[in-house]
Amino acid sequence: MEKNKLKKENVNDIKWDVDKTPVDLRDTFYSNGVKMLSSQYEFSLDFFAQPPKDDGHFEGVRIYVNPINFKLFTNLFKEQLEQYEKRFGEIKI
């Protein structure tokens, strides 16, 4: 069982290959808003689209992520943003 544990020094070496991911990615959702909450054990990300639908409800999706994966995603987002800005210029906010 010890062999199957992910060593801490290898965590940053994880690379995601979407083409090899066994997930049905045909369902897509465009989001232009996000709300994040966290507890000791998980992060909750509510992605939603604005404006709300005619009935006043927002269309959205909620994703729960453990803290290790949240940090990995944060690093991945940062890398992708840096590559984007090198290619297209700085995003000013």
Q: What is the pLDDT of residue 79?
A: 96
| CATH class of domain segment(s) 24-88 | mainly beta
Q: Is the pLDDT of residue 55 over 80?
A: yes
Q: State pTM to two decimals.
A: 0.63
Q: Where are the domains of the chain?
A: 24-88
Q: What is the pLDDT of residue 53?
A: 77
Q: What is the pLDDT of residue 59?
A: 84
Of residues 40 and 1, more confidently modeled? 40
- Do residues 68 and 87 touch, judged by C-beta distance below 8 A? no
CA distances to 27, 30, 46, 58, 62 from 54, rounded to whole Å, are: 22, 18, 20, 9, 21
What's the pLDDT tens digit per position in 15-54? 656 566 656 666 778 899 999 999 999 999 999 888 877 8
